[in-house]
Amino acid sequence: MTQLQSARKGIITPEMIRVAQRECVTPEFIRDEVARGRLVIPANIRHLAGSAGAAPNDAETRILSRPDAARDSNPVDRGNGFPQKEVREGILAPAAANSKSAAGGNGHSGNGHHANASTIGNSSFDIRHSTPTGHPGHRPDAAFWANQTVAQRWAVINDPNILRGQSAPKRLDPMGIGRMVTTKINANIGASPVKSDTALEVEKLNWAQKYGADTLMDLSTGGNLLECRQAIIDHSTIPIGTVPIYSMIIGRSIEDLTYDDILKEVERQAKQGVDYFTIHAGVLLENLHLIRKRITGLVSRGGSLLAKWMIVHNKQNPMFTLFDEISAIMREYDVTYSLGDGVRPGCIADAGDAAQIAELEALGELTQRAREAGVQVMVEGPGHVPLHEIAWNMQIQQKVCDDAPFYVLGPLVTDVFPGYDHITSCIGATEAARAGAAMLCYVTPKEHVGLPKADDVKQGCIAYKIAAHAGDIARGIQGARQWDDDMSKARAALNWPKQFEIAFDGETARALHDEDLDVDTDFCAMCGHDWCSMRISKEIQEFASGKAEGFQPEKKAMKSPGLTPEQIQLLAHRGKKHDCHSDNVADAQEAERVQREYVQVGVSGQ
């Protein structure tokens, strides 16, 4: 039974409970959102088990109790006091209703589904999870998994005992995608015919997870696709998506693709543990004439391949023709649809044209067909859209596709900055998140010009974490801004260690600080001591600024803990550090006096 089928029967699955914990809401809210079709939990049963592409051990199928479950000697009871068979069959589902919040209201900004840790802990499915949820120092009502820092994420990735699978090094930690919860980001990686290396793709996966990716798509078109895909799934704790048509044409031309080829490849990837498929079933034969006058034609690889197949054979899109058969395979493994935008605009001049809207209408119909088949579904959206048209795109998708989660690429808001398209698209992604996009597909600096490397993955992820978090604040996600408020309190208090602990990427922030001044004191190299507005505001007793309890530095000044090899490497290309106060004094003794005057290392107090 899929997550959608379970939710529509009123069953709260262990995966729903984990998603509720990650989102700081009640399990009932997650169940209702899944039943409504407004939220999906991409969770292939084989990836959940971490069974390395094999049929899972039945006793461990769809188990979600705690991250070290693979080490338990009893695979039936996972620490919540109930056999997992009973959880799966829904026998315990009614009891979970006892944890429902008594308050009313709708939306994450209200109280109707907001939960604290005790609410979830009192559920019959007590799955207290020792992996971190929320930024360091968060309140119980702001324990958002999406707000974890790089350091928190890296610790989970590197601990072999956390989220260990039955046969694979890692297993899936379920997450939810929907506009009523925190905005998610996706990273794309994949080997190409020009360059392929499975180990490199696994490294990219780890970087993507480290720097905030909530899901990842393997878009490989070269090398050993089967091996590479399995390695990525087996090392991933986040959902993995693919575009199956890429594998379907390896060793054959698109014209030779048969219905049997399509169904065999879909099933092969479902058995491997892929959590969601991009299926370009909305590109229809009768709408191809709408592409003729476009500047950039079809920029979707899947869309262009299927258009060529339709023209050669003068038949309807085989993905559309086989939609019910594909759905049956996906339902068996609980694979989620990501209905592909094969006609997405490839430049802002083509945005919002008749071709894009015709495909969207087809995707709306397919959304209903997928739900009727018991398969979860989200919808992919446009890639290049002028800034002022983005909100309209979100609204029309919600209307046409019955509020299925919208998964958008970018959108890029201008076409003239190749090499910086992680920025041009991040601007559009922020507006999309504000207007209701559920997940943002990142763009890297290599977009339009080449294959991303690990550092490009990092840059894309960070740009999109900024967009997603800014969108959550703008939409009024309750508790999302506490992360920012805590940083502001630490900043006002001139507590540098606290700032770097709270920062999403504290490692980079620390390196850039120490590049100029390797002492944590009551100013930084931007303004120096006399011009530091934060220090001056803190000294004014009538101001609350810089005086928050729990955010005061241990000492007024202390030596930096020093840089790691990674931080040193980061700074290596930046050249000589800026001059400090003492650097501008010719006499050595006078320089020492100036340094002591401004920075009294080891002296405590305010």
Give the per-residue pLDDT at 410.
94
User: pTM of this prediction?
Assistant: 0.86
How many structural domains comprise the chain?
3
The dihedral region occupied by 297, where left means phi > 0, alpha psi between -120 and 50, and beta the remainder, is left
Give the per-residue pLDDT at 68.
40
CA distances to 75, 489, 490, 536 from 529, rounded to whole Å, are 60, 19, 18, 9
Give the per-residue pLDDT at 60.
54
Both 434 and 508 in one domain: the answer is no
Please, which residues bridge with residue 83 across strands? 77
Q: How many CB atoms lie within 10 A of CB 2?
A: 23
Both 494 and 440 in one domain: the answer is no
- The pLDDT tens digits for 466-502 are 999 999 999 999 999 999 999 999 999 999 999 999 9
- Pairwise CA distance, residues 372 & 30, whole Å: 20
Q: Is the model more confident about 178 or about 559?
A: 178
Asked if residue 423 is part of any domain, the answer here is yes
Decide: helix, strand or coil at residue 213. coil
Both 212 and 103 in one domain: the answer is no
- Asked if residues 392 and 354 have their Cβ atoms less than 8 Å apart, the reply is no
- The pLDDT tens digits for 354-410 are 999 999 999 999 999 999 999 999 999 999 999 999 999 999 999 999 999 999 999
- The pLDDT tens digits for 314-352 are 999 999 999 999 999 999 999 999 999 999 999 999 999
The residue count for the chain: 606
Both 469 and 510 in one domain: the answer is no
Q: Which domain holds residue 585?
A: 482-598
H or E stretch at 380: strand 377-381
- The pLDDT tens digits for 432-454 are 999 999 999 999 999 999 888 88
Half-sphere exposure of 169 (CA within 13 A, CB side): 14
Asked if residue 306 is part of any domain, the answer here is yes
Residue 152 CA to chain centroid, in angstroms?
Answer: 15
Please, which residues bridge with residue 178 across strands? 39
Both 143 and 195 in one domain: the answer is no
Both 250 and 235 in one domain: the answer is yes
Both 379 and 289 in one domain: the answer is yes
- The pLDDT tens digits for 117-137 are 333 333 333 343 446 689 999
pLDDT at 28 over 50: yes
Both 110 and 240 in one domain: the answer is no
Question: Helix 421-434 crosses helix 390-400 at what angle (to 10 degrees)?
Answer: 50
Both 468 and 497 in one domain: the answer is no
DSSP label at residue 469: H
CATH code at position 395: 3.20.20.540
DSSP label at residue 373: T
Decide: helix, strand or coil at residue 242. strand
pLDDT at 79 over 60: no
Q: What is the average pLDDT score of the chain?
A: 86
Asked if residue 258 is part of any domain, the answer here is yes
- The pLDDT tens digits for 234-293 are 999 999 999 999 999 999 999 999 999 999 999 999 999 999 999 999 999 999 999 999
Both 76 and 212 in one domain: the answer is no
Asked if residue 167 is part of any domain, the answer here is no
Smallest Cα–Cα separation from 334: which of 41, 27, 50, 136? Answer: 41
Domain stop point among 156, 173, 207: 156
Asked if residue 98 is part of any domain, the answer here is yes
pLDDT at 589 over 90: no
Both 144 and 218 in one domain: the answer is no
Asked if residue 516 is part of any domain, the answer here is yes
pLDDT at 214 over 70: yes
Both 383 and 335 in one domain: the answer is yes
